[in-house]
Amino acid sequence: MNRRWLMLTLLAFAQFMLIVDITVVQVALPSIGADLALGREALTWVVTTYTLVFGGLMILGGRLADVVGARRTLLAGLAVFTVASLVCGLATSGAVLVAARAAQGVGAALLSPAALAVITTTFDGNDRSRALGVWAAIGGAGAAAGVLLSGLLTAGPGWQWVFWVNVPVGLVVLALVPGLVRPDVTAGARQPVDVPGALAVTAATALLIYGVVHAGDAGWGAPLTLGALVAAVAGYAVFVAVESRVRVPLMRPQTLARRPVVSGTLLMLVATGLMLGLFFLTSLYVQHARGLGALATGLLFLPVALGITAGAQLGAHLIGRVGGRPVAVGGLLLTAVGAAVLTQAPAVDGVLAAVLPGFVLAAFGIGPVFVAATTTTLANVPRDEAGVASGVVNTFHELGGSIGVALVSTVAAASISGSGTSGFTSGYVVCAVVAAVAAVVALGLVPGGKPHAVAGHGHGHAQGH
C-alpha cells in the first residue's frame, strides 16, 4: 500500500512539472523578451509552442503507452522533458528557446498519459477515486503554482530558473520510478503503431490550437485564423479516413463513442478553459488596472491554488458517494457564481477585496469538475484502452486552455490594450455564462451512478494485477 502511494506521489510531482510549465512563463515573459531581444510574436510562440506540441502529440503518447508499455513511455518522456528544460534555461536566442519548448512538449505528451495509465491500472475502487483526486488537484494547483513560481523566480535568481527548477525534480523521479512502477507486460508490444493517424491528428490539433490562439491576437475573422481553422477541419477529416482503413487504429471508434469518454472530454475542455481563461484575465487585470507587480501577482494566486486543491479533494471524496454527475454540475454552478462575483471587481475598492472572493470560489468549483472529468472517463474503459482514453482527455486539457485564453483575450481586447475595465468585465461575464451552460449540459450528459460501481464489469480488463 505504501509503495503504491509513494509511486503516486512521484508521478504527481512529474505531472506537476508538466502543468506548471503551461503557465510558468507568463510572468517571466518581459524578462525573457528583454534578455533575448524577442518581439511580441516570438514571445507568443514561447507560450504556445509547449501547449501545441503537448496537446497535439498526447494521443500518440497514450497509444504508445498501450503498445510499448506505460513504464517505458513514462521514463522516455521524463528524460526528454528534463533535458529540454535544461536547454530552455541555457537558450541564448528565441529560436533555441522555442525549439526547446517544443521538445518539452514532446516529453510531456509521452509522460502524462503514460503516468495516468499507470495510476488507473494500479489503483482500484475508492482508492482509485482518491488517486485521481490527487491527480486532478495537480492539474489546477500546478497552473496556479506556475504563476506564483514565475513571479518568485523571475524577481529572484532570473527567468532561466523557471525552466531549471524542473531538472533536479526530473532526475529524482527518473532515479526512483523504475523501482516503484511494475515492468510492462510485453504481450501487446508487437502491434503496429498507427503513425499516419498520429501525424494527421497531431497536425489537425496543432492547427486548431494555433487558429484559436491566433484569434486572441488578430481576431476570429483574420485570414490566418480562418485558414488554420479550415485546415484543422480538413486534417480531422483525413484522420477519420485513415482510421477507417488501418488494421490497428490509433483511436478505436468504440472508445470514442463511450458516453463516459464524451462527457469526460467535455468536462475537461470546459474546466481547463475556464481555469486558464480566468488566470489570464485576472493576471492582466490586477497588473494593468490595479498596478500589482510580478511578485504580488504570483502571491495572489496562492489562495486560488489552495481553492482548486480543496475543491478537487472534496470532489474525490463525494464522487464515490454520490457519483460524477452531481459533483460535475455542482462544481460548474459554483464556478459560474464565482465568475459572476468577479464581474463586480472594478466597482470594489482594494485589489484583494475586489478579486479574491470570486476568484477563490470559481477555483473551488473548478477542482471537482477536473475530478469528475478524469473519473467518469476512465471508470468504464478496458485496460488496453486506458492510455488512449487518458490521452484523449488530456488533449482536451490543452485544447481547453488554448480556447479559454483566446476567447477571453478576444472579448477583453480593448481593456488589455489599456482602455478602461469594461473588457475585463465582459470576459468574466463570458466565463460565468459558459460555466452555467456547461452545468446544464452536464446534467444530461454525465453518466449517473458511482464511478467505481459503473466500472464493475470492466475491472477484469482494467485491473490485471
pLDDT at 45: 77
| Residue 186, φ and ψ in degrees, nearest 5 | -95, 15
DSSP characters for 136-198? HHHHHHHHHHHHHHHHHHHHTT-TTHHHHTHHHHHHHHHHHHHHHSPPPPGGGTTSPP-HHHH
Nearest CA among 19, 148, 167 for reference residue 89: 167
Left, alpha or beta for 278 (phi > 0: left; psi -120 to 50: alpha)?
A: alpha
- Which grid coordinates are listed for 102? 517544443
In three-state form (DSSP H/G/I as H, E/B as E, the rest C), the secondary structure along 75-97 is HHHHHHHHHHHHHHHHCCCHHHH
- Which grid coordinates are listed for 161? 530558473
Cα–Cα distance, 409 to 413 (Å, whole number): 6
pTM listed for this prediction: 0.77
In three-state form (DSSP H/G/I as H, E/B as E, the rest C), the secondary structure along 338-397 is HHHHHCCHHHCCCHHHHHHHHHHHHHHHHHHHHHHHHHHHHCCCCHHHHHHHHHHHHHHH
pLDDT at 160: 92
pLDDT at 417: 64
- The Cβ of residue 366 has, within 10 Å, a number of other Cβ atoms equal to 31
What is the residue whose three cell numbers read 483575450?
Answer: 409
pLDDT digit string, tens, across residues 150-165: 888 888 888 899 899 9
Residue 287 CA: distances (Å) to CA of 43, 296, 352, 367, 373: 18, 9, 13, 25, 32
Cα–Cα distance, 264 to 442 (Å, whole number): 10
Tens-digit pLDDT string for the chain (465 aa): 578 888 888 888 888 888 888 878 777 776 787 789 876 567 767 877 887 788 878 888 888 888 888 888 999 999 999 999 999 999 999 899 999 999 999 999 999 888 888 888 888 778 887 887 787 777 667 777 787 888 888 888 888 998 999 999 899 989 988 888 877 765 455 567 777 887 887 788 778 877 877 776 677 889 999 999 999 999 989 988 888 888 877 777 667 777 778 888 899 999 988 988 898 888 878 877 888 877 888 888 889 888 988 898 899 889 888 888 899 999 999 999 999 999 998 888 888 888 999 999 999 999 999 888 888 777 767 767 776 777 777 778 777 877 787 778 778 877 776 678 888 899 999 999 999 999 999 988 887 777 653 333 332 222 222
Cα–Cα distance, 85 to 105 (Å, whole number): 10
What is the residue whose three cell numbers read 464524451?
Answer: 262
